[in-house]
C-alpha cells in the first residue's frame, strides 16, 4: 500500500493553500466543505478565488505575498497549487521538515498525502484512489460507486446514529443486535428513508425495537415496480435494488426474461401474466395475492412492464393494499412509448411536426375502440397506441373518416428496445394490409404522425432482427 487511507478532521483547522489561480480554485471548495479555515497565500489572487472568498468570508482569508518557509507554521495541512515548480518544491520541503501533511497538485513525487475521489453522503464518505497513477480510472470507479451508494445513505446513517444507544440498551446480545441492524438497514425502514419518509422510518424502527424480537419487521410491503419496455439496461436503480431484495416477484407477460434474470436468485417468482382473452389470473386475484403475501411478512415486488401507472392497472392493485393497510411504494419505469420511440429513432414531439403527443389504448374493456376520433385526427400531433394491433384497421379507418390524411405515416414497433425489435412502417391508408401480410409477434406499439418520417435519419438501434427503415409511400 503506497498510501494509507485515513479520514482527517479538518473542522476549524487552519490550512494553507499556496497559489491562488485556477488550480487553487478547484481545491478550495473541497476543503471548505470539510470545514477547514483556509489561508490562501499568493502575490496575486485570481478572480475565481476572490469570488470564493466573497461566498465564504469566515472560512477563507487572503495573504498577498510570495511564499517563504515560515508561512507554513501552525497549519494542520498544506496544499501547494502554483504553476511554479520551484515554489512547489519549497512548499513541499518546508512542510515535510515540520511534519505537516502536504499535497502538491499534479506532482505526486512531492506529496505526503493525495486527494482521493470522494463520494459524499455525509456522514457516509467513500474515497477512491489509484495512487495518482490513473485519474480516469479513479473517475470511472467513483461513477460506479455513486450509482450504488444511494443518496439517502447519509440519512440512513443519521438514523442509525440516533438510535444506536437505545438499541444497545434494549438488545444486549451483540449477535442479536447485528441481526436487528441488518434488517433495519436493508429492509422497509431503509426504503422509507430513501423515499424521504423520515418520520415513518423512525416509527417503524421504534416499533421494531419495542417488540424486541423484531416481529414488527416481519410486516411485508409491496413495491409496484416499472420494469421498463424490455432492455434490462433501462431499469431504474431503485427498481434493481428492490428486485434484489425481494422475497417474492409477481410478474406478468410484458416483463422480459432479461429483466427477470436480475431479480434476487432465491426469490420466489410468481407468473400472473395475462394474454388477451386468456387471463391466467384475474385482476381481483392478483390484488388478493399481493395482500396475502405482504401480510405473511414478505417483501413483494409487483413487476410490471413499462411504467406501472400507464395502462398498467397499477392504481387498482394499490387500492386493495390501501384498503387493507399494507404499506406500498410505486417505482416508475420507462413506458413503452418512450422506450420504443427512442429505439426506433422517432421523437414523439418535434417543433416542425408535432406539438403534442397522446397515449391511447386500442383495446377497451368491452373489446370496442371508443376514442375521441375528432380530436385524434387533428393535425400537428403524435398518437401512440398501446394494445392497438387487433384494432389497427379500425383505428386507421376511423382517423381517415375524421379527416386525417391517408398518407399520414404510421410505425408499428414490435418488442421494442429488445434484441428482437422489429419495425414496420406505412401510412394510415396502407398499414392495415402491410401488417396483415407480416408475421407480427406481440407486444407491439403503434405510433402515428409525421414524426415517423424522422426515423429515416435518426434510426440508430440495430436489433438482431433485420428491418431496413421503410419510407412511407403516399397512396
Ligand atoms: N405499462 C406499460 C403498458 C402496458 S399495456 C407501459 O408503460 O409500457 C401493454 C401494451 O404496452 C402492449 O400491448 C404494447 O402495446 C405496449 N408495450 C409494452 N412493452 C412493449 C414493447 N417492448 N414493445 C412494443 N410495445 C410494448
Are 362 and 395 within one domain?
A: yes
Among candidate residues 164, 195, 217, the one where a domain is terminated: 217
Are 419 and 437 within one domain?
A: yes
pLDDT digit string, tens, across residues 341-370:
999 999 999 999 999 999 999 986 666 788
Lowest-confidence segment of 81-95, 207-221, 447-461 by average pLDDT: 207-221
- Residue 443 within any structural domain of the chain: yes
Q: Which residues are marked as active site? A: 252, 274
**What total of structural domains would you count in the chain?**
4
- Residue 43 within any structural domain of the chain: yes
User: Going by CA atoms, what residue is nearest to atom 3 of ligand 1?
Assistant: 311
pLDDT of 475 higher than 50? no
Give the pLDDT of residue 317.
87
Highest mean pLDDT among 198-207, 291-300, 372-381: 372-381
Percent of the residues in the chain that have a pLDDT greater than 70, as a whole number: 94
- Residue 105 within any structural domain of the chain: yes
Give me the CATH number covering residue 289.
Answer: 3.40.1010.10
What are the beta bridge partners of residue 424?
412
Residue 338 in contact with ligand 1 by CB distance below 6 A? no
What are the beta bridge partners of residue 45?
none
Give the pLDDT of residue 56.
96
- Residue 98 within any structural domain of the chain: yes
Residue pair 189/180 in contact (Cβ under 8 Å)? The answer is no
Residue 196 has φ and ψ, to the nearest 5°, of: 85, 10
Residue pair 367/262 in contact (Cβ under 8 Å)? The answer is no
Are 320 and 344 within one domain?
A: no
Percent of the residues in the chain that have a pLDDT greater than 90, as a whole number: 76
Residue pair 444/414 in contact (Cβ under 8 Å)? The answer is yes
Give me the CATH number covering residue 438.
Answer: 3.30.950.10
Give the pLDDT of residue 474.
46
Nearest to 196 by CA among 155, 241, 149, 162: 155
Give the pLDDT of residue 466.
59
Give the pLDDT of residue 436.
95
pLDDT digit string, tens, across residues 190-215:
989 998 999 999 999 998 888 765 45
- Residue 472 within any structural domain of the chain: no
End-to-end CA distance of the chain: 73
Are 230 and 326 within one domain?
A: yes
Give the pLDDT of residue 469.
47
pLDDT digit string, tens, across residues 231-287:
999 999 999 999 998 999 999 999 999 999 999 988 999 999 865 555 567 777 899
Are 252 and 239 within one domain?
A: yes
Residue 275 has φ and ψ, to the nearest 5°, of: -100, 155
Question: In whole angstroms, what is the distance from residue 50 CA to residue 52 CA?
Answer: 5
Cis amide leading into 114 (omega within 30): no
Give me the CATH number covering residue 21.
Answer: 3.40.50.720
Give the pLDDT of residue 245.
87
Give the pLDDT of residue 274.
62
Instruction: State the residue for C-alpha cell 410505486.
Output: 330
List the helix and strand counts (H, then E) for the chain: 17, 19
User: Going by CA atoms, what residue is nearest to atom 24 of ligand 1?
Assistant: 444
Find the Cα–Cα–Cα–Cα dihedral 345, 351, 354, 355, rounded to 10°. Answer: 130
Mutation test of ligand 1: which of 255, 305, 307, 388 has the most ligand atoms closer than 8 Å to its C-beta?
Answer: 305
pTM here? 0.78
Are 360 and 280 within one domain?
A: no
Residue 423 in contact with ligand 1 by CB distance below 6 A? no
Residue 312 in contact with ligand 1 by CB distance below 6 A? yes
Mutation test of ligand 1: which of 235, 386, 420 has the most ligand atoms closer than 8 Å to its C-beta?
Answer: 386
Residue 256 in contact with ligand 1 by CB distance below 6 A? no
Range of the domain at 389: 337-458
Are 309 and 287 within one domain?
A: yes
Among candidate residues 217, 232, 259, the one where a domain is terminated: 217
Among candidate residues 334, 357, 387, the one where a domain is terminated: 334
Residue 445 in contact with ligand 1 by CB distance below 6 A? yes
Are 342 and 386 within one domain?
A: yes
Give the pLDDT of residue 243.
94
* Angle made by CA atoms 212, 218, 221, in degrees to the nearest 5: 140
Give the pLDDT of residue 471.
47
- Residue 63 within any structural domain of the chain: yes
Are 361 and 301 within one domain?
A: no
Long-range contacts of 472-475 (CB under 8 A, 24+ apart): 472/407, 472/409, 472/410, 472/425, 472/426, 472/427, 472/430, 473/407, 473/426, 473/427, 473/430, 474/406, 474/407, 474/427, 475/406, 475/407, 475/427, 475/429, 475/430
- Residue 147 within any structural domain of the chain: no
Give me the mean pLDDT over the 60-89 stretch: 95
Are 411 and 450 within one domain?
A: yes
Are 229 and 286 within one domain?
A: yes
Are 247 and 265 within one domain?
A: yes
- Residue 471 within any structural domain of the chain: no
Amino acid at each position: 500500500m503506497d498510501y494509507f487511507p485515513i479520514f482527517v478532521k479538518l473542522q476549524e483547522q487552519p490550512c494553507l493553500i499556496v497559489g491562488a489561480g485556477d488550480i487553487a480554485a478547484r481545491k478550495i471548495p473541497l476543503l471548505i466543505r470539510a470545514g477547514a479555515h483556509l489561508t490562501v497565500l499568493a502575490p496575486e489572487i485570481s478572480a475565481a478565488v476572490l469570488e470564493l472568498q466573497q461566498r465564504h468570508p469566515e472560512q477563507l482569508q487572503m495573504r498577498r505575498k510570495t511564499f517563504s518557509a515560515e508561512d507554513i507554521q501552525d497549519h494542520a495541512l498544506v496544499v501547494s497549487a502554483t504553476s511554479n515548480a520551484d515554489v512547489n518544491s519549497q512548499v513541499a520541503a518546508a512542510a515535510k521538515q515540520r511534519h505537516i501533511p502536504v499535497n502538491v497538485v499534479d506532482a505526486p513525487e512531492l506529496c505526503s498525502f493525495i486527494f482521493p475521489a470522494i463520494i459524499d453522503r455525509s456522514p457516509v464518505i467513500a474515497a477512491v484512489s489509484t495512487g495518482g497513477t490513473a485519474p480516469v480510472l479513479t473517475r470511472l470507479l467513483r461513477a460506479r460507486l455513486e450509482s450504488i451508494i444511494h443518496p439517502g445513505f447519509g440519512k440512513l446513517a443519521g438514523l442509525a446514529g440516533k438510535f444506536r444507544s437505545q438499541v444497545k440498551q434494549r438488545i444486549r446480545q451483540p449477535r442479536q443486535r447485528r441481526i436487528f441492524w441488518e434488517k433495519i438497514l436493508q429492509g422497509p425502514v431503509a426504503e422509507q428513508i430513501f423515499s424521504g419518509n423520515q418520520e415513518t422510518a423512525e416509527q417503524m424502527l421504534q416499533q421494531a425495537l419495542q417488540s424486541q424480537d423484531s416481529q414488527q419487521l416481519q410486516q411485508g410491503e409491496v413495491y409496484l415496480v416499472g420494469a421498463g419496455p424490455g432492455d434490462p439496461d433501462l431499469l431504474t436503480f431503485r427498481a434493481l435494488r428492490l428486485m434484489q431484495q425481494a422475497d417474492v416477484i409477481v410478474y406478468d407477460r410484458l416483463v422480459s426474461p432479461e429483466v427477470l434474470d436480475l431479480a434476487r436468485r432465491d426469490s420466489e417468482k410468481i407468473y400472473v401474466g395475462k394474454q388477451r382473452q386468456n387471463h391466467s389470473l384475474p385482476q381481483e386475484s392478483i390484488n388478493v395475492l399481493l395482500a396475502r403475501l405482504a401480510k405473511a411478512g414478505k417483501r413483494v415486488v409487483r413487476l410490471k412492464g413499462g411504467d406501472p401507472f400507464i395502462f398498467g392497472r397499477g392504481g387498482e392493485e394499490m387500492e386493495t393494499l390501501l384498503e387493507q393497510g399494507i404499506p406500498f411504494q410505486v417505482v416508475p419505469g420507462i413506458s413503452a412509448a418512450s422506450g420504443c420511440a427512442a429505439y426506433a429513432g422517432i421523437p414523439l414531439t418535434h417543433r416542425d411536426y408535432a406539438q403534442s403527443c397522446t397515449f391511447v389504448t386500442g383495446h377497451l374493456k368491452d373489446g370496442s375502440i371508443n376514442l375521441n376520433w375528432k380530436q385524434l385526427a387533428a393535425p400537428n400531433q403524435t398518437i401512440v397506441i398501446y394494445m392497438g394491433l387487433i384494432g389497427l384497421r379500425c383505428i386507421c379507418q376511423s382517423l381517415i373518416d375524421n379527416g386525417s390524411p391517408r398518407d399520414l405515416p404510421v410505425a408499428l414497433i414490435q418488442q421494442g428496445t429488445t434484441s428482437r425489435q422489429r419495425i414496420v412502417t406505412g401510412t394510415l391508408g396502407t398499414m392495415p394490409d402491410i401488417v396483415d401480410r407480416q408475421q407480427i409477434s406481440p407486444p407491439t406499439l403503434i405510433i402515428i404522425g409525421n414524426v415517423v418520417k424522422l426515423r429515416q435519419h435518426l434510426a440508430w438501434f440495430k436489433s438482431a432482427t433485420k428491418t431496413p427503415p421503410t419510407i412511407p409511400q403516399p397512396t
